[in-house]
Homo-oligomer: A and B are copies of this chain.
């Protein structure tokens, strides 16, 4: 249940952006947790929950979404291996949105207080978690701009580029093709469009040779042009290592 390496994907993700020495890594790997295999389409957190645990996604895909007054659903983020999917829901009093699996998934539930204690005690870990939250915010901002100010074609191209880059960064892409584990309806809820319009938009991108589709898997055939169409730059993903000095912190 708690083998030494279970949480490795999460550590790997944090270590991509922040400096974590051996001690910090060991502490993270030693976090108490319970593992659960969760089937596709199941809820991990429901809006209003007062969770005492944070969910870490160790394998599979998940997404977070909100339901608005007239029944519409908006997906606000999509998560993959290694992601901390609901720090916010456990550190803020009540969950302000839902978290649900997209595919079968392996999830570790870590007591919130254990994370808080570790962050307080080890500056590298505190900073790494904070930076992870900041990057989350950066992606949210890009999505606001995407949904607010780009038309359907740009918007779709943009999100496809984002997924491609993030899958690569997470070491999940096998070549240029990736199986996006999402239905067109779910993609529509990411993009703030209707599934019908997403369908037509994807066909448009395919007709123009930017992507190829086969059943439910999708391949980007012209990355540069897709990025141009989608006004995509990976800057907002902050993939490189961040250079916050913690030397001063040791004062």
- Choice from B69, B87, B127, B131 contacting A120 with Cβ under 8 Å: B127
Query: Is A3 on the interface with B (CB-CB < 8 A)?
Result: no
| Contact present for A72 and B126 (CB under 8 Å) | no
| Contact present for B133 and A130 (CB under 8 Å) | yes
- Choice from B76, B123, B235 contacting A145 with Cβ under 8 Å: B76
- Give CA–CA (A87, B141) in the complex, Å: 14
A69 to B: closest C-beta gap in Å: 3
For window 182-235 of chain A, which residues contact chain B by CB distance below 8 Å? 191-192, 231, 235
- Give CA–CA (A56, B72) in the complex, Å: 36
A21 to B: closest C-beta gap in Å: 14
| Contact present for B238 and A64 (CB under 8 Å) | no
A77 to B: closest C-beta gap in Å: 8
Query: Is A144 on the interface with B (CB-CB < 8 A)?
Result: yes
| Contact present for B91 and A141 (CB under 8 Å) | no
A-B contact pairs, 19 of them (CB 8 A): A64-B141, A66-B142, A88-B134, A88-B138, A91-B242, A93-B238, A96-B138, A96-B236, A114-B248, A116-B245, A116-B246, A117-B251, A119-B123, A120-B126, A133-B137, A136-B137, A140-B141, A143-B144, A149-B192
